[in-house]
Structure 1
Amino acid sequence: MNILRILILSLIVFSCKSDPKLNAGLWRAEVPTVAGTLPFFLEIEKEENTLKAFAVNGDEKLAFDTLFISNDSLHLRMELFDAEIIAKISDSTLHGVFSKKMADLSIRQSEFTAVLGEPNRFKTTQNSAGIKEIATQYAVNFIDGDVTYQAVGLFKQNGEKVTGTFLTTTGDYRYLDGVIDGDSLKLSCFDGNHVFLFTAKIEGDKLVNGKFCSSITYLETWEGIADSNAKLPDANTLTYLKPGYTKLDFSFADENGKQISINDEAYNGKITIVQVLGSWCPNCMDETKFLADFSTKHPEIKIIGLAFEKSTDPAFALPKIAKMKKRFGVTYPVLIAGKNDKSDASEKLPMLNKIISFPTTIVIDKKGIVRKVHTGFSGPGTGEYYIQFVEEFNRFIDKLEKE
């Protein structure tokens, strides 16, 4: 019997003991990966008799949807990401299992441990005199087998502490938090969907021998060189209409089974934003939060979400979409468009050359003409890049409104 089965069985065995006390505070948690131990912070807050839990990465506190204690075990769930932690409570420690439902609906599991009151995300070995400095921006290459893709590394250093992210053509790697340990950079992020661990050696203006682990078992290598002018291809040029097309054409069902088409009268003569997304996608959640707020401020602008989910079975997909809409205050329709696969999204929107990212955002003018297709989303974790996106987006919509 393997260790995960032993842990799971130990957590669900009936106990006649009363529920143990879960202490509020900051817990340092760990899950093992193929690239080493991934640390993150779990914050438990208590308001009167209610407990809340958050995954903490840099400036972000991401709330778990569900927290409850059964027998001697803590249960934490992030419903949108199909992620769950079940851990036995013992004084100031937690020990159990992290589980996540993957894109193909298979379950991936790993051991989970946490200790209350440990203030350091990464355990370092050097004294303050040995801390190296890194640049604020790097041109980065990630190597995935025979495929190499570009990124821009963005970092802020304060002593040994480092926060930052990586920009890629499909979106950013969200809020990364870590340290400089001797000659090494170490960064991690755990948000229920992303399980990210980055390490690299610092050699002058280069980051070398980099390892990037995601989803516990998947490993890429990477390298970077300091470059204040590093940039990615224009996100508005990667996905585009095929020759001969000027408009979108689609019809998908909403949560009530009603077919909604971009050709419906409701969208005639209206600026319309089509959001290609998945409720399982953290970058999509960043964009959804932005668009929900934008929709409130600009009710005259129409928005349609096209959701590509892990399953198109309404019994599976609709609760996910409903939970996403409730969390972010979404009032625009979100339609079940297909499976969470870029090739399926490309097939459902055949007038486009291809969909290479969730999210992808398509802006349509009052005449129904596609005016812009934006690949990916640079969320709040990217700092000035997010601010720049918001400013450019608002300027472009203002321009279309005046036409």
Structure 2
Amino acid sequence: MRIVLGVAGGIAAYKAVLLLRLLREAGHEVRVVPTRAALEFVGRPTWEALSGQPATPDVFDDVPHVAHVSLGQSADLMVVAPATADLLSRAAAGRADDLLTSTLLTVRCPVLMAPAMHTEMWEHPATRANVATLRARGVHVLEPASGRLTGTDTGAGRLPEPAEIAAAALALVASPGAGGPSEPRRQDLAGRHVVISAGGTREPLDPVRYLGNRSSGRQGYALARTARARGARVTLVAANVALVAPAGVDVIPVESTAQLREAVRAAAKDADVVVMAAAVADFRPVAPAVHKIKKRDDGVVEPIALEANPDILAELAAERLRPGQIVVGFAAETGDDGADVLAHGRAKARRKRADLLAVNAVGEGVGFAVADNAVTILDAGGNVVAEAAGTKDFVADALWDAVHSLG
């Protein structure tokens, strides 16, 4: 895939070097178009050495090929990171005073901008108006991260991490790397609010130990990332997940099942779709120990009384906190002497009454904490709606396709 990487003049330009490397290592052809100010932070030799292509801010370089037109016409994807307040302003106004802004006027492929600036600049009404203008034109403008800025300042305006920018950008095109130019991703979730739970809940046994599971949260994060790419506003309730937050997604961290239930129900009050992808603990200790449970000298282990946690998916499916709300669940299953994975999934689908239930096999090296997944998507009656196997992003897209088919 042919990618144009625009780099504006901010201190975060150093992160764009890492972004360039990620895109190149993924097998894509990348042409870097820096502004003149960007070259004050990272020099031209660095961009050219890592991209293997010229990196100029000037429309008068390579005049015979009319670079500002040819770059835009040939690009499959354009990313601007960092996008400074000045760059956002010039792009919103349709300026064409350097190679980057000229190229932005000629591209017809998906465009993603990752802003980075001080908090006051990001929150200024002029910047907010420019962002709104660009988004109205179909440009994907990420929300900046919060954290340490230049000097001692802290707040919103930090450039998201390069891995998240790359993932968000590649999610804008369908089947990246499948061969040939990629098509722009459908915006079939535009205007919809999606709430997703991810990760695995932990139930404290004492101040040190907990009951938990092996869920990494990767499938839930893939669902959030792809939903955002398809135009949704996304709230992600993350239980004990050690992953970089998906760019442009509102993340609510939780630990226990009770905390996850409270956060999901609060967010779901105005949600069009709720997807329970988290591995929620079925049981919790009746009375967690106040102090660390000590090992006895005689080797005897005191029994721990457990009680059932609320069935959050069944609650959501029964109550529908908003009229017309679509509720989707996941069923991580293992076969046993009584039935196989799919049979257990069918029984759970009929019991939970969610609109869709994605059933997947789990175990050592399967389902949890691995890059790929395989699911069978059932309706509320246990009938097979779709099947998908591949990367977790691929599975996520298949699930959103199934959701979209419900209307």
TM-score after normalising by structure 1: 0.22
Greater gyration radius: 2
**By percentage of residues, which structure has more helix?**
2
Of structures 1 and 2, the one with the larger relative CO (CA 8 A, separation 6+) is 1
**By percentage of residues, which structure has more strand?**
1
